[in-house]
Structure 1
């Protein structure tokens, strides 16, 4: 069986925000739309704070200094939100 192996991992090249989500554009042309609710620091940050993002690791991740938030592209592709948020208990 053959498997596809990526020569390199996708990298972020741009970020844009709507009122309830943010969109990360990758260097391979894909766009990821992520709910702000997955990242409470971004959700509760001001529009100005959200817009002050920077690429880290050459696009492997995103950083917001004012919000103390770092998000990896690999984590977004895996569907992982903020791993520090409180999980609801299941009864």
Structure 2
């Protein structure tokens, strides 16, 4: 059985990208992992939308897409 991880809202600060999930969990990953987002302005970061039935995030002005599931993976 596959369970989709769906986003509810996106928040960020100078160190972390935070995604609140529909089930109220919060995922936080370092902004340093996302060079394009780290270099973006507050206005650009604030302009996001959920895509793929809530399983991904798009920043149209940056042409940047992020899978929420990828935030849960640890690539060593």
**TM-score, structure 2 as length reference:** 0.89
Give the Å deviation of 1:10.
1.7
Q: CA-atom RMSD, angstroms?
A: 1.4
Q: Could you say which structure has the greater relative contact order, defined with CA pairs below 8 angstroms and 6 or more residues apart?
A: 2
TM-score, normalised to structure 1, is 0.75
Q: Which ranges of structure 1 fall in alignment gaps of 5 or more residues?
A: 81-91
Question: Who is 1:83 aligned against?
Answer: none
Consecutive unaligned residues of structure 2, counting only runs of 5 or more, are: none
- Over 6 Å off, 4+ runs: none
Matching residue of 2:34? 39
> Would you tell me which structure has more strand in proportion to its own residues?
2
Based on CA coordinates, which of the two structures has the bigger radius of gyration?
Answer: 1
* Total equivalences in the alignment: 75
